[in-house]
Chain A
Amino acid sequence: MSFQLLLFYLFAAVLIGAALMVITRRNPVHSALFLVLAFFSCSGLWMLAEAEFLAIALVLVYVGAVMVLFLFVVMMLDINLAELRAGFVRNAPVAVLVALLIGAQLVLILGPERFGLAQFAAPVPKPADYSNTEALGLALFTEHLYAFEIAAVILLVGIIAAISLTLRRRPTTRYQNPGQQVRVQAKDRLRVVKMDAEDVA
């Protein structure tokens, strides 16, 4: 067993463990932190598969930005655990059914006859000067240009939709105009009154 294989099993074990903790922890903040750990181990796995750009981008985007906002929201929530668990027994049969279905589908599709090691030869290690980033950029902007552009447009639509759904302008809200605030001068606010000295008798 090589060192890389050892690393693979280590990261995979941490990933699965962390993923299990995400769905079993009672405290949502703990769940979110375990999700961060899961992303990290996943990034380690991608690094082993020589996809270093994707591995670092996963940490940068998901851990560095998305999960921060997640935590931000989760910490603000006041979650009533009893209320959350109320429907558990009633919904359990449906949940088990869905879980079994998804499990069966995964086994059927990802089974060894299609995704076994025999179908996928180990990739030849790339030389040290091979730039993953450059290869990815070339592939995205030549072969997959249309898919890439369409994904970009869908994301843009998503951003605009999210903003327009949450943006509410109430007529009673008063806004500050920073430009105006910056332009304010002392003489607009302050009047110096010249007075004669008082005659102290």
Chain B
Amino acid sequence: MEYLQTFWADLPVVVQILLKIAAIMVPLLITVAYYTYAERKVIGHMQARMGPNRVGLFGFRLLGLGQPIADAVKLMFKEIIIPSGANKLLFLLAPLLSIGPALAAWAVFPFDAGLVLADINAGLLYILALTSLGVYGIIIAGWASNSKYALLGAMRSAAQIVAYEIAMGFALVGVLVAAGSLNLGEIVAAQQGNLLNWYWLPLLPLFVIYFISGVAETNRAPFDVAEGESEIVAGFHVEYSGMTFAVFFLAEYANMILISALTALMFLGGWLSPFQGTPLAGWFDWVPGIFWFLMKTGFFMFCFLWFRATFPRYRYDQIMRLGWKVFIPITIVWIVLIAWLKVA
């Protein structure tokens, strides 16, 4: 153990940081792969189907656990078709622009007390800035494809993301007013105490608005008009094939995990144990904080799938109305209320 510690300390800082990035990215990408599997399984069971159950590993079926790997291999060997008249450079750049921010946002994420790659004091602002960049991938994909469906999808998506980003930003302003800090670790620390101290209760409207806006921001059902299979085929990524298409998918699922993790962090007390402040607290002391964090994140990830299996797609004008005329006014009122409570 001591040998390992000295070995770690002797490594150059760049190598240390790279190893930490790998320690976040590898589990994240595996989660993304198995999230697609979970989606098909969960929705399958909700609709009284089996979901994928054929592709296994090493000759065993294992409930179809080999499916994501088979999908990845299939996508890698498919041809990347670039439409004639498409802007080649931007066409290939768009998937990268959509996955980059989704992965970079994890840099400031505290998984447990002190377990964070970059503990910067404007962490919340950094996350807001990066999530707002995801829209570029979609707009550029829509424009560079030189296709009407793609452009329409991109326009819908851009308008929707801009609208819901404001509601999301305001919901987070409420959190930062309540916590008095932009540092994610301090925001979690401010929720110490017990389950009722977590911000889901004091900031209940903001909690609901944040998560719904998160669903809209990631273009997921019931807000998936940007893809709208039944009207505009697949929206902004209709012209993409093979790995370029897969990267868009990875970005979408990475964003869903990011939103789930952020909701857990901001409103459900991150790594804090739900038994804190109850007589049971002593029994669960041995559970590492990251376990609670992952459980909470997992719950919201499940909600994404649950919504998709439950709700019919929103009409486009209703999406806009919900964003601009319902969510934004409610968040503004709640921010003022919280600021007043904080000062009084």
Q: How far is the CA of A16 from the CA of B107 in the complex (A)?
A: 29
A72 touches B139 (CB 8 A): yes
Q: A57 at the A/B interface (Cβ < 8 Å)?
A: yes
B317 touches A64 (CB 8 A): no
The A/B interface has a contact count, at CB < 8 Å, of: 64
Give the number of residues in A that approach B within 8 Å (Cβ atoms).
Answer: 23
Q: A105 at the A/B interface (Cβ < 8 Å)?
A: no
B139 touches A68 (CB 8 A): yes
Q: Which residue of A lies closest to B183 (CB)?
A: A131
Q: Which residue of B lies closest to A130 (CB)?
A: B121
**Contacting chain A: which of B29-37, B55-63, B127-135?**
B127-135
Q: A33 at the A/B interface (Cβ < 8 Å)?
A: yes
Query: What B residues does A71 contact at CB under 8 A?
Result: 139, 143, 158
Q: How far is the CA of A53 from the CA of B165 in the complex (A)?
A: 19
Say which residue of A29, A59, A68, A131 sits within 8 Å of B129 (CB atoms).
A59
Those of B122-165 within 8 Å (CB) of chain A: 122, 125-126, 128-129, 132-133, 135-136, 139-140, 143, 151, 154-155, 158-159, 161-162, 165
Query: What B residues does A129 contact at CB under 8 A?
Result: 121
Q: Which residue of A lies closest to B90 (CB)?
A: A33
B125 touches A64 (CB 8 A): no
Q: How far is the CA of A11 from the CA of B155 in the complex (A)?
A: 31
Query: What B residues does A68 contact at CB under 8 A?
Result: 135-136, 139, 158, 161-162
Query: What B residues does A29 contact at CB under 8 A?
Result: 143
Closest CB-CB distance, A65 to chain B, in whole Å?
7
Closest CB-CB distance, B176 to chain A, in whole Å?
9
Say which residue of B121, B140, B318 sits within 8 Å of A133 (CB atoms).
B121
Q: B120 at the A/B interface (Cβ < 8 Å)?
A: yes
Query: What A residues does B49 contact at CB under 8 A?
Result: none
Known contacts A69-B162, A75-B143; is-contact A63 B133 (Cβ 8 Å): yes
B317 touches A176 (CB 8 A): yes
Q: How far is the CA of A65 from the CA of B128 in the complex (A)?
A: 11
Query: What A residues does B155 contact at CB under 8 A?
Result: 72, 75
Closest CB-CB distance, B342 to chain A, in whole Å?
14
Q: Which residue of A lies closest to B159 (CB)?
A: A72
Closest CB-CB distance, B104 to chain A, in whole Å?
12
B121 touches A65 (CB 8 A): no
Those of B77-120 within 8 Å (CB) of chain A: 90, 120
A60 touches B129 (CB 8 A): yes
Say which residue of A36, A57, A133 sits within 8 Å of B136 (CB atoms).
A36
Q: How far is the CA of A75 from the CA of B182 in the complex (A)?
A: 36
A56 touches B143 (CB 8 A): no
B126 touches A56 (CB 8 A): yes
Closest CB-CB distance, A14 to chain B, in whole Å?
16
Q: How far is the CA of A170 from the CA of B321 in the complex (A)?
A: 20
Query: What B residues does A133 contact at CB under 8 A?
Result: 121-122, 125, 182
Query: What A residues does B139 contact at CB under 8 A?
Result: 68, 71-72, 75
Closest CB-CB distance, B13 to chain A, in whole Å?
12
Query: What A residues does B125 contact at CB under 8 A?
Result: 53, 56-57, 60, 133
Q: How far is the CA of A41 from the CA of B140 in the complex (A)?
A: 20
Q: A123 at the A/B interface (Cβ < 8 Å)?
A: no
B135 touches A53 (CB 8 A): no
Q: How far is the CA of A8 from the CA of B140 in the complex (A)?
A: 29
Closest CB-CB distance, A195 to chain B, in whole Å?
31
A75 touches B151 (CB 8 A): yes
Identify the A interface with B (CB < 8 A). 29, 33, 36, 52-53, 56-57, 59-60, 63-65, 68-69, 71-72, 75, 129, 131-133, 176, 178
A-B contact pairs, 25 of them (CB 8 A): A36-B136, A52-B122, A53-B125, A56-B125, A59-B132, A59-B133, A60-B125, A60-B128, A60-B132, A63-B132, A64-B165, A65-B165, A68-B136, A68-B158, A71-B158, A72-B139, A72-B158, A72-B159, A75-B143, A75-B151, A129-B121, A131-B121, A132-B121, A132-B122, A133-B122
- Known pairs A75-B155, A131-B121, A176-B317 / 13 extra A-B pairs, C-beta < 8 Å: A56-B129, A57-B129, A60-B125, A60-B128, A60-B132, A65-B132, A65-B162, A71-B143, A72-B139, A75-B139, A75-B154, A132-B121, A178-B321
